[in-house]
Structure 1
């Protein structure tokens, strides 16, 4: 058994140093907590807080309102946040549970896009259930505290349960995330300020835990984006592929059509590859889903790379998309 003193130290640290002002920590609304959890996957707190969390809640104040909305509307509000699978899963989950989230981790974990840690987070933060969480920050803290070289999920869950303060699960889990974000950082951790310092097995060489895996070189995909015009309108498709499913954008092909006029180049880096697009105006017939005016384009959910295409100087001579208010 771990000494209760380290658990009490974590609890006391949170009372004094925790980020109590975060809006999703000032509510017990499971939907608002769930929304924050999925927005914060792959996205920094600052970005979510300043640009996405409040506008999304203003448009969709309840999970029921998400369920009642078309997927296109949800994607539009998610525009710019990236990793759009999260938005599609949110919409799917809202429909599946009829706008009311279950209150136990097993049922929550069975919903699309809600993994074990997110299910535990919702139950811990909304209902104060004694369950540990295991996000990226917590994993790093646990690896260092227990001197674990490898992030083995099974072992990390065992350690998370071992360290959990069952009387104060809410504060404990929030503290573990904050310690990872503010103190036990990936580089240059501030071990002297850490409440786990006095019993941490990895404090002398924190950079060794966990051991970093060498990142593979990001592959580059080179393609062509086709700008098709009809009576001043732009031809777009609604994507079916998994990466940007549901978003609108320009047709992309692997080979450049003959006699195409080059309008410019754009690049965009995704999580697992970099896309280099040569944008060309094509007079040949291009199969699109529909043609849109600038005003209509402003209402569609577009990916970042397609927005970059619209901002090319050469596009201005063809059509000038309206800027959303």
Structure 2
């Protein structure tokens, strides 16, 4: 691999084709805000850039500085993160911000790694983009580019990281890392890579093979578990009885009272347990919402119900996307067809 030619080709392409993204803003000295870089990298771990821009602007409007984030209640942080999913990211951002306010803003890879929820990728991204440290990032886009450069069908994590480290332009680590990520996101895409537009095609072994899309080989997906559940809407879509969600995935959020249907029972049994727990009387069936989560697909049937329980304005609580779908069933049920 001709590294000087590789660096010149990719950085030259990036200087013209780099995407205009809100977290890439620099000050008059050309420096990046570490806080904005950090938030964006955490957000984009599980969120596409198109949606990520909207969520990023909303989150930065609510918490423009690390001090603002650290001093906010966790529920407010989760509300600002609403819709992004993978809420442990928001909880860890909050905890890390509080640690930064106490101990100071890290300026090194190791300093960022010591913060809650900051893994090797995020630490390398912030250290290189905001502080110019020679740390190579490795995300899905970079892994795919490296796999194709060397025509490796099944790149191991160790091989991918060692290769990323070896190719890093240590004089321009931040630009190099972003250029690789942009290349993977816009040109070296999973399907139908645009090799004719790629600045690295001259050194790309996958391109030379004539079938670049076969690299890397598809990962084996875990089986998706199908789950059925019932939920109760006590109140309306605007003001309802809500319960706190628990667990690592949705902890800190709120939602409609819900009961999973067991593998050897019907929906009626789960509904009976739920109504008995809440002392509720069920009314009409509002409908069923489908929702996909990591390795799980949920089908939740919602029933209107009445009970002597406190109602909360829904806009005041952070809700997962699933519960927004469930509440929307009430609005749809209230829409009456036009009479002609």
Question: Same fold by TM (over 0.5)?
Answer: yes
**Secondary structure of the equivalent of 1:150?**
coil
1:260 is displaced (CA, Å) by 3.4
1:101 is displaced (CA, Å) by 2.9
8 Å contact 2:222–2:295 — kept in the other structure?
A: no
**Secondary structure of the equivalent of 1:24?**
helix
1:226 to 209, 221, 232: 232
2:21 aligns to what? 22
1:159 aligns to what? 163
CA distance in 2, matches of 1:316, 1:199: 59
Does 1:299 find its partner at 2:316?
A: yes
CA distance in 2, matches of 1:71, 1:155: 39
8 Å contact 2:229–2:298 — kept in the other structure?
A: yes
8 Å contact 2:106–2:112 — kept in the other structure?
A: yes
TM-score by length of 2: 0.84
CA distance in 2, matches of 1:186, 1:315: 38
TM-score by length of 1: 0.88
Q: What are the within-5 Å matches in structure 2 for residues 1-325 of structure 1?
A: 2-19=2-19, 21-27=20-26, 28-49=32-53, 51-98=54-101, 100-203=104-207, 204=209, 205-229=211-235, 234-254=240-260, 255-257=270-272, 260-261=282-283, 262-283=285-306, 291-293=310-312, 296-313=313-330
**Secondary structure of the equivalent of 2:184?**
helix
C-alpha change, 1:312 and 1:165, in structure 2 (3 Å) is same
CA distance in 2, matches of 1:186, 1:308: 30
- Kindly tell me the number of residue pairs found equivalent between the two proteins: 308
C-alpha change, 1:260 and 1:16, in structure 2 (3 Å) is same
1:322 aligns to what? none
**Secondary structure of the equivalent of 2:205?**
coil
| Gap runs ≥5 in structure 1 | 318-325
